Structure 1
Amino acid sequence: MKSLQARHAPLADTGYQLTVLSQAEVAGAHWPLFAHKLRETGLLPLRPTSLEVMQINVGKMCNQTCRHCHVDAGPDRTEIMTRATMQLCLDALAQTNIPVVDLTGGAPEMNPDFRWLVEQISALGRQVIVRCNLTIIVANPKYHDLPTFFAWHGVRVVSSLPHFSASRTDAQRGEGVFGRSIRALQMLNEAGYGVAGSGLVLDLVFNPSGAFLPGSQVGLERDFKQRLLREHGVVFNSLLTITNLPVSRFLEYLLESGNYDGYMQKLVDAYNPAAAANVMCRSTLSIGWDGLLYDCDFNQMLDLPVEARAPQHIRDFNEAALTDRAIVVNQHCYGCTAGAGSSCGGATT
C-alpha cells in the first residue's frame, strides 16, 4: 500500500494552515480535528518556544526494514544528504546558539559523509545525538569502530530496542536483530557508554509493537535495566518511551489490520493538554535529506513542510522567522499528546 498523501485546507479565522490526510479523514470523520482540540485548550496557533534542537535526517538508507518504521527506511532507499547540504546545515547552525544536533535516518551512519558531519558539529561546540539502530555497529567491519568514534566526539547515543526479550524484538525488527543489538550494546559499554562516571550517555528507546500506548516510562526503564543487566551484562542511562504515530508503515499496518479506528480513538481519548504544551516541535527544527524544513520528523515523512510564511529550505535559514512560525498540525499529532506525551526525548509529562 502506498503512503497516504496529504492535502491542505485553511482553518477559518486564523490564517492557519491545517493539513488533513484524505483517507484518514474519511476513516475518522467523527474525531475532532486536532487543531480544534488545540484551540479548546488555548494552544492554537501552536508556536515554537525556542530553537533548542536541530534534527537532521541524513538519508533514508538503512540496513534494516522495521515493521513500525515511520521513515519507511530500508536498504533499497537512495535518498541521501549530500555534503553540500550538510554544509548548509552547518552554516545555519553557526548563526545560532542551538545547543543540540540530532542526527537521524535511516541508519545515519550509512551516509558516506556521516563522520565528517559529526566532526564538524563537534568543532562548533554543539552536542551531537546519533539515532543508532545498534545492528549497524556489527553489520560490517567498517562500522565496528563506531563506539570508539562516538566516544571520541562525546556523542550521545540513542538506540531503539523494542523489548528486553528476543522474540518481541525480532518480531518487530527482523530475525536475529535482538542478538546483534545486544552485541552492539556490549561494544558500546566496552567503550564506556552507559557506565557510571564515564560521561558517555547511552539511552534506549521503547515503542509498543502493536496498536496501544506505551506503559509508564519509569516502570519500563526499571524492568529493562534489571533484565538487560542480569541476562546480558548490559547497562544504559535512560529509557525513552515513544508512542507509535499513525504514519507510513505503522499507518499501513493499522489500516490493513483493521486497528486504525480503535487506535485513533485511544489517542483522541488520551489527549493531554500538558503534553500538548510540551510537544517537541516547539523546540525542534527538522531538516530533510534534501534540505527542506519541517516542524518535526513525522511531518517530514508526510511531506508537510513548515508553514508557507517561514523559510522552506535550510539555505534560507532565518532563526527569527522560524521561531515565529505557526506549527503545522494534523490528526497524527494526537500521538504526541496522548497520555504522558511522546517526543524524540521520551515522555513529556
Structure 2
Amino acid sequence: MGVSPEKLAGFYKTHVNVKRICEQIQFKCLETLQVNLGNVCNQKCSHCHVNAGPDGKKIMSRMVMEEIIAFLSRHKELTVDITGGCPEMNPDFCYFIEKACEVSQLVMVRTNLTVFLENGFEWLINWYRDHQVTVIGSLPCYTAENVDSQRGSGVFEASIKALRLLNEAGYGVGSGLELDLVYNPGGAFLPPDQQQLETDYKRHLDREYGVTFDNIFTITNAPIGRFRKSLEAQGRLEEYFRLLEENFNPLALHNVMCRTLISVDYRGILYNCDFNQALDLCMKDKHGEPVTIDRLDEILEQQIKIETGKHCFCCTAGVGSSCTGAIVK
C-alpha cells in the first residue's frame, strides 16, 4: 500500500532538515521567461521587494531587449512574463511588447493598475487589447484602507477606476481578454485560501464597484527589499522567518516556479526567480561567472543549479506561492 502525499509531507516536516531539501530543488524545463524591465514606478509600496519607485535608476535598454527577443524567436512556446517596477514606464516598453507578441504565444504584463491613469498612458489599455496582452494587476485587498496603507493614499480608488476601464475594453468579462489580480498579505502573515479569497473578491468588487476579473493569485511576501526593512524596524524579521519555516510544505517543492522559470534583469543577467534577482543572487556558469541572456541556450543544455536562501521558504510555506499563485491544490 502506498503512502499518501499528506503522510509523506508530515514525515518530512518531522524528520528531515527542510533547508537541505530546498537546496536539492532541481530545474525541470523552461516554460516561462520572466523579464524585469527595471525599477522605475509611479508608486512606492511598503512591501516592494525590488525597492521600486519614481527615483528608480534600473532601466532595461533596447539592446538587452533585442537579445531577449532573439532568444524568444528560437523558443516560441515560452510564456513571457513582463514585470518591474512599473514595466510600462520603461521608455522602450511598447517596442518590447510588440516584438514579444510577434514571436510568443502568451505575453503577460504585471501592472500596478494606477499607471493607466497617469498622463500620457491613457491609451495603454486599448493598446493592450489590440495586442491580446494578458493583464495581471496588483490589488492586495478589496478595501481602500488596506490597499492605501500598503501602496499609498488614493491608490485603491485609482485601481478601481483602472479596473473599470479594463472591463470596458473587454478585459475580465469573458471575452477571452484575461484580467487577473494579485493579492499579497498586508503584513507578516500567510495568504488565506486562494479559492475562497477569489470568491470573496469577485463578490465584493462586483457588488460594490461593478468590477469583474478572471483569476486571483495569492503571493506570500518575501522577506527582502522594503518588506524586510519593515520587519526589521518592527523587530519581527526572525519571527517571520520562523513562520515560513514552521509552515514548510514539502508538497510545494514539486511546483516551485524556479523549476520552470528564469528571470532576466535590466542588464540581461539571469536568475532563478525575481526574488533572487532582487537579492542579486544570479545564475552562474561553471567558472562562477554571471550568466546573461545571450548564453541562455548554452546554459539550458547543462544542469542548471538553483540558488537558494532563507527567503525561499516564502514559496514553500502553507499551500506554496508563485507568481501565478498557490501551487498546492
TM-score (structure 2 length as normaliser): 0.91
Q: Structure 1 residues 164, 333: closer, same or farther in 2, change over 3 A? A: same
**Residues in 2 aligned to 1:244 and 1:78: alpha-carbon distance in whole angstroms:** 24
- Please point out which of 84, 102, 115 is paired with 2:63: 84
> Residue type of the partner of 2:122?
H
The answer to whether the 8 Å contact 1:311/1:318 transfers is no
- Please point out which of 292, 297, 302 is paired with 1:318: 297
- Please point out which of 269, 272, 279 is paired with 1:292: 269
- Secondary structure of the structure 2 residue equivalent to 1:194: coil
Matched, 1:259 2:236: yes
Residue of structure 2 equivalent to 1:184: 162
The answer to whether the 8 Å contact 1:67/1:249 transfers is yes
Matches within 5 A, 1:196-211: 196=174, 198-211=175-188
C-alpha deviation, 1:199, in angstroms = 0.4
C-alpha deviation, 1:307, in angstroms = 3.3
**Residues in 1 aligned to 2:222 and 2:162: alpha-carbon distance in whole angstroms:** 27
- Secondary structure of the structure 2 residue equivalent to 1:163: coil
**Residues in 1 aligned to 2:207 and 2:301: alpha-carbon distance in whole angstroms:** 47
Please provide the CA RMSD for this pair: 1.7
Report % sequence identity: 46
- Please point out which of 248, 271, 274 is paired with 2:248: 271
The answer to whether the 8 Å contact 1:51/1:323 transfers is no
C-alpha deviation, 1:194, in angstroms = 0.2
Residue of structure 2 equivalent to 1:14: none
C-alpha deviation, 1:324, in angstroms = 2.1
Q: Deviations over 1:77-104 (max 9, x none)?
A: 1210011100000111122244210110
Matched, 1:37 2:18: yes
Residue of structure 1 equivalent to 2:124: 146
C-alpha deviation, 1:272, in angstroms = 0.6
The answer to whether the 8 Å contact 1:45/1:326 transfers is no
Q: Structure 1 residues 178, 98: closer, same or farther in 2, change over 3 A? A: same
Structure 1: 5+ residue stretches without partners: 1-31
- Secondary structure of the structure 2 residue equivalent to 1:151: helix
TM-score (structure 1 length as normaliser): 0.86
Q: Structure 1 residues 105, 322: closer, same or farther in 2, change over 3 A? A: farther
**Residues in 2 aligned to 1:150 and 1:56: alpha-carbon distance in whole angstroms:** 17
**Residues in 2 aligned to 1:322 and 1:303: alpha-carbon distance in whole angstroms:** 23
Structure 2: 5+ residue stretches without partners: 1-12
Q: Deviations over 1:125-145 (max 9, x none)?
A: 3311000100000021x2111
Q: Structure 1 residues 157, 323: closer, same or farther in 2, change over 3 A? A: farther
Residue of structure 2 equivalent to 1:223: 200
> Residue type of the partner of 2:66?
Q
- Please point out which of 246, 249, 258 is paired with 2:223: 246
**Residues in 2 aligned to 1:322 and 1:174: alpha-carbon distance in whole angstroms:** 45
Matched, 1:163 2:141: yes
- Please point out which of 35, 53, 61 is paired with 1:56: 35
Q: Which moved more, 1:327-336 or 1:87-96?
A: 87-96
The answer to whether the 8 Å contact 2:141/2:183 transfers is yes
> Residue type of the partner of 2:245?
V
- Secondary structure of the structure 2 residue equivalent to 1:317: helix
The answer to whether the 8 Å contact 1:50/1:323 transfers is no
**Residues in 1 aligned to 2:302 and 2:252: alpha-carbon distance in whole angstroms:** 20
Q: Deviations over 1:33-67 (max 9, x none)?
A: xx952545xx6432211100000001110000000
C-alpha deviation, 1:287, in angstroms = 0.1
- Secondary structure of the structure 1 residue equivalent to 2:38: coil
The answer to whether the 8 Å contact 2:171/2:178 transfers is yes
**Residues in 2 aligned to 1:223 and 1:157: alpha-carbon distance in whole angstroms:** 20
**Residues in 2 aligned to 1:223 and 1:284: alpha-carbon distance in whole angstroms:** 30
- Please point out which of 111, 114, 118 is paired with 1:135: 114
> Residue type of the partner of 2:276?
N
**Residues in 2 aligned to 1:66 and 1:306: alpha-carbon distance in whole angstroms:** 27
Matched, 1:72 2:51: yes
- Stretches of 4+ aligned residues off by more than 3 angstroms: 319-323
The answer to whether the 8 Å contact 1:293/1:305 transfers is yes
Q: Structure 1 residues 223, 319: closer, same or farther in 2, change over 3 A? A: farther
Matches within 5 A, 1:15-34: none
